[in-house]
Structure 1
Amino acid sequence: MKRILPLFIILFFLGCSKDSVMYRMTAFINGDAWQCIMPVIVVENMKLVITGTSLDGRTIIITVNGISPGRYQLSAAEGLAQCAALYKASLQVSDEDAYASIDGSITLSSVDQVNNRVSGTFQFSCYRNLTESVSITQGQITNAKITF
């Protein structure tokens, strides 16, 4: 028994493997670090809707008109937008802290439809009115899970 127990312990630890995939969504909002540890990505009508909420309630929502890798440009001009973004400063049910994007882009570097994962980068400027704006920079999406 004394010889078998160490063998079982060794086999037990060899059987353990790190099978979790690291996924997250990060950015800088007006220069302050922001992180969502569990972004939600939904595919609907050939569009990706990417939502990330930090622990303090700040939310970034990005809608991409496509599901293929590539660069998608934001535009305020009607008919030219390939994506859109929204920043909400809190979880309150109000649009007083909602900022809509008028310029920027998202680049989908990887859309893995076999493993249902998305990675990419984003940056954009959002405005609430003519005087209040939010700058979202150095945004990254890493191995986020797609929900169909």
Structure 2
Amino acid sequence: MKRILPLFILLFLAGCEKDSISYRMTAFINGNAWQCIMPVIVVENMKMVITGTSLDGRTIIITVNGISPGRYQLSAADGLAQCAALYKASLQASDEDAFASIDGSVTLSSVDQVNNRVSGTFQFSCYRNLTESVSITQGQITNAKITF
């Protein structure tokens, strides 16, 4: 019995691991994988600003004009933007060096205002001038924490 008791205690403690919530923000930028470990989401005046920065300093900033689940579209032809995005290639990049979106969308699949979590997808085409562009595709936000 003395030999079995430590085994039972070890098995009991191993089974008591705390459930962790996995949260992240990922995308492909011009076909290259990009990942932010801890996205920051701020909600104010019925707008959601989602910011993610990778370890190498590449930053995606998304503004959504709403906080409800659904698809938010950006189209220069419509004249009304439901969302927008900026891409900065490094932390040292100025606002003038940022790539601004001219088309794209964000889909908020889940906005949990009880647990303050957001999940969804995004994709944008961003331009800095007439010749330089960045394609942000297959973007995903998973269980990101909302700050009000």
Fold shared by both chains (TM-score > 0.5): yes
Shift, 1:65, TM fit: 0.3
Following TM superposition, by how much is the alpha carbon of 1:67 offset from its aligned partner in structure 2, in angstroms?
A: 0.3
Please report the TM-score for the alignment, with normalisation by the length of structure 2: 0.91
- Which position in structure 2 is the counterpart of 1:113? 113
Q: CA deviation at 1:16?
A: 2.4
Deviations 1:24-57 (A, max 9, x none): 0000000000000100000010111000000000
1:3 match: 3
Q: Distance in 1 between matches of 2:53 and 2:113?
A: 24
Is the contact between residue 105 and residue 123 of structure 1 (CA under 8 Å) also seen in structure 2?
yes
* Larger mean Cα displacement after TM superposition, 27-36 or 96-105: 96-105
Q: Is the 8 A contact 1:42 1:49 kept in 2?
A: yes
Asked if the contact 1:87/1:99 (under 8 Å) is kept, the reply is yes
Displacement of 1:13 in angstroms is 1.1
Q: CA deviation at 1:9?
A: 2.2
Q: CA deviation at 1:78?
A: 7.4
How far apart, CA to CA, are the structure 2 residues paired with 1:44 and 1:8? 50
Coordinate RMSD, CA, aligned: 2.0
Other structure's SS at 2:5 match: helix
May I ask how many residue pairs the two structures share in their alignment?
A: 148
Q: CA shift at 1:127, angstroms?
A: 0.4
Partner of 2:46: 46
Unaligned runs of 5+ in 1: none
The percentage of aligned residue pairs carrying the same residue is: 92
| Residues 90-136 of structure 1: per-residue CA shift (max 9 Å, x gap) | 00052343100010000000000111100000000000001100000
Unmatched 5+ stretches in structure 2: none
Contact conserved, 1:90 with 1:97, CA < 8 A, in 2?
A: no
Alignment deviations for residues 62-100 of structure 1 (CA, whole Å, 9 cap, x no partner): 000000000000123575100110000000052343100
Supply the distance in 2 between the matched residues of 1:115 and 1:6 (Cα, whole angstroms).
38
TM-score (norm 1): 0.91
